[in-house]
Chain A
Amino acid sequence: MKIVIDGKVCEAERGEYLLTVARREGIRIPTLCHNDALPGLASCRLCIVEVVEKGWHKVVTSCVYPVSAEIEVFTASEKILRMRKTLIMLLAARAPENETIGKLMQEYGLEKPDRFKKENSSDCILCGLCASACEKIGAGAISTVHRGVTKKIATPFDDPAADCIGCAACASICPTGAIKVQDKSGTRQIWNKAFELLICPDCGKPVVTREQAEYLRKQMQGNPIEYSGDGTVRCERCKKAAAADRFRTAFL
């Protein structure tokens, strides 16, 4: 079906999310909590747009709004800009020092808010993307804990996470870089826990944590290609090189 986004006629399939359609057409809608691999959180609210359907206007979060009719969409109407500015200010009140939020404030011409002073400011906007990623991977080591003003992302009882495999997916997916991971002299520190980093046998680069390798091995049973036979884990680069070598010896 045809929909119109900011005056541009776009082809969309029924049920497709508005954000997906807009991005495909090169129309930028700001997001923080959206990740193509983990859609459907809709917690940062930045992707709001105005939808006009049969003359009715409504504000929707485009990341979870499925296209079901021939609608007209405004991604930056006066109303949307006003609302989005408020949302950014609220996020800025939570994470005033954060770089990503700072850039958004700059883009929307906003000053740092002086209301709602937070005693312990953090970089976390509590979108929950890290917890979804952790769950999707299968570890489920972190989750949202408590609610309201005391809500946070944490491991159970704030202990060193028993279920954590040290993959740091949470840190790499975090839109505001709020999760601290430290790789230093063969050890990774994350969620109050230290992990041994396995070294690539060919180039000596740290690749994954021991727990991560074991977890992968368990998940990928019958797919030994990922690993060299001696139980070590090669880095992506050396794995490709080894595969090329095998190919060469087999055919030349």
Chain B
Amino acid sequence: MTLSSGMQHRSPDRVAVTGRILEGYPKEQRYTLAMLQDIQKEFQFIPRESMELIADHLELPLGKIYSLATFYKALSLQPKGKHVIKICDGTACHIRSSQMLANELYTLLKIRPGETTGDGQFSVELVNCLGACAIAPVVVIDETFYGKVTPAKLQEIIAQYGDAPEQSERSGGVAHD
């Protein structure tokens, strides 16, 4: 379709990085979600220019991409923190006081679920069942699962990430699937 409006604020970096991601995929609509996932991983959110580039690349209307990007919880239109803390609020975790963990995180980081710290280090999300009910309550930071978490333990866990703010978000991962 036609080139989309709002291009005046395009960041050259984002355009270049997005372009490289798109090059890795055939020009087919079915790869849209995979492209968006890569972009989310790269920028911790989906920049507008990336969506416009996908639309142009696949010759789809921007609305199609926007619809997809706003539908999935794994994709965010707001920049997420470097480390994404997911508190499971499934039934088992909820009963085992996941809410207390959210409160503890508020004391530690001064952010509520859905928010990001001012320094861009942490985001907190309240998510649905992660399928690890046996070790409830569960907290997942980036791709690492922490089970039977208590408020005291949570403080220790966060400290690991807080002490090394320069660390890449992927280096802490042990539970890749």
**How close is A153's CB to chain B, nearest CB, in angstroms?**
10
The answer to whether A156 touches B63, judged by C-beta atoms less than 8 angstroms apart, is yes
Hey, what's the 0/1 contact readout for A131-151 against B, CB within 8 Å counting as 1?
A: 100110001111111110000
Among B48, B51, B64, contact of A140 (Cβ-Cβ < 8 Å): B64
In the complex formed, the residue of B with least CB distance to A147 is B71
**How close is A218's CB to chain B, nearest CB, in angstroms?**
11
Check if A159 is an interface residue, CB within 8 A of chain B. Answer: yes
Count of A interface residues, CB-CB < 8 Å:
20
Check if A69 is an interface residue, CB within 8 A of chain B. Answer: no
Among B6, B61, B70, contact of A163 (Cβ-Cβ < 8 Å): B61
Chain A, 90-137, CB within 8 A of any chain B CB: 131, 134-135
**How close is B32's CB to chain A, nearest CB, in angstroms?**
13
Check if B1 is an interface residue, CB within 8 A of chain A. Answer: yes
Check if A247 is an interface residue, CB within 8 A of chain B. Answer: no
The answer to whether A140 touches B71, judged by C-beta atoms less than 8 angstroms apart, is no
The answer to whether A156 touches B66, judged by C-beta atoms less than 8 angstroms apart, is yes
In the complex, chain B residues whose CB is within 8 Å of the CB of A140: 1, 60-61, 63-64
**How close is A124's CB to chain B, nearest CB, in angstroms?**
16
In the complex, chain A residues whose CB is within 8 Å of the CB of B65: 156
The answer to whether B4 touches A162, judged by C-beta atoms less than 8 angstroms apart, is yes
**How close is A85's CB to chain B, nearest CB, in angstroms?**
31
The answer to whether B71 touches A156, judged by C-beta atoms less than 8 angstroms apart, is no
Check if B2 is an interface residue, CB within 8 A of chain A. Answer: yes
In the complex, chain B residues whose CB is within 8 Å of the CB of A56: none
Hey, what's the 0/1 contact readout for B109-142 against A, CB within 8 Å counting as 1?
A: 0000000000000000000000000000000000
Give Cα A146 to B61, complex, Å: 17
In the complex, chain A residues whose CB is within 8 Å of the CB of B66: 143, 145, 156-157
Hey, what's the 0/1 contact readout for A8-32 against B, CB within 8 Å counting as 1?
A: 0000000000000000000000000
The answer to whether B5 touches A162, judged by C-beta atoms less than 8 angstroms apart, is yes
The dominant DSSP class at the A interface is: loop
Give Cα A115 to B64, complex, Å: 34
In the complex, chain B residues whose CB is within 8 Å of the CB of A62: none
Give Cα A159 to B71, complex, Å: 18
Check if A155 is an interface residue, CB within 8 A of chain B. Answer: yes
The answer to whether A139 touches B67, judged by C-beta atoms less than 8 angstroms apart, is no
Cross-chain pair count, CB within 8 angstroms: 53
Among A135, A146, A156, contact of B62 (Cβ-Cβ < 8 Å): A156
Give Cα A6 to B14, complex, Å: 61
Give Cα A156 to B61, complex, Å: 10
The answer to whether A143 touches B6, judged by C-beta atoms less than 8 angstroms apart, is no
In the complex formed, the residue of B with least CB distance to A146 is B70
Chain B, 21-66, CB within 8 A of any chain A CB: 48, 51, 60-66
In the complex, chain B residues whose CB is within 8 Å of the CB of A163: 1-2, 4, 61-63
Give Cα A163 to B62, complex, Å: 8
**How close is A195's CB to chain B, nearest CB, in angstroms?**
15
In the complex, chain B residues whose CB is within 8 Å of the CB of A157: 6, 48, 66
In the complex formed, the residue of A with least CB distance to B71 is A147
Among A143, A161, A162, contact of B67 (Cβ-Cβ < 8 Å): A143
Give Cα A136 to B63, complex, Å: 13
In the complex formed, the residue of B with least CB distance to A160 is B5
Chain B, 65-91, CB within 8 A of any chain A CB: 65-67, 70-71
Ranked nearest first, the 6 interchain pairs of A and B with the lowest CB-CB distance are A140-B61, A143-B63, A156-B66, A143-B67, A156-B62, A162-B5
Interface residues of A (CB under 8 A from B): 131, 134-135, 139-147, 155-157, 159-163
26 contacts between A and B (CB under 8 A): A131-B63, A134-B63, A139-B1, A140-B1, A140-B60, A140-B61, A140-B63, A143-B61, A144-B67, A144-B71, A145-B66, A145-B70, A146-B70, A147-B70, A156-B65, A156-B66, A157-B6, A157-B48, A157-B66, A160-B5, A162-B3, A162-B4, A162-B5, A162-B62, A163-B62, A163-B63
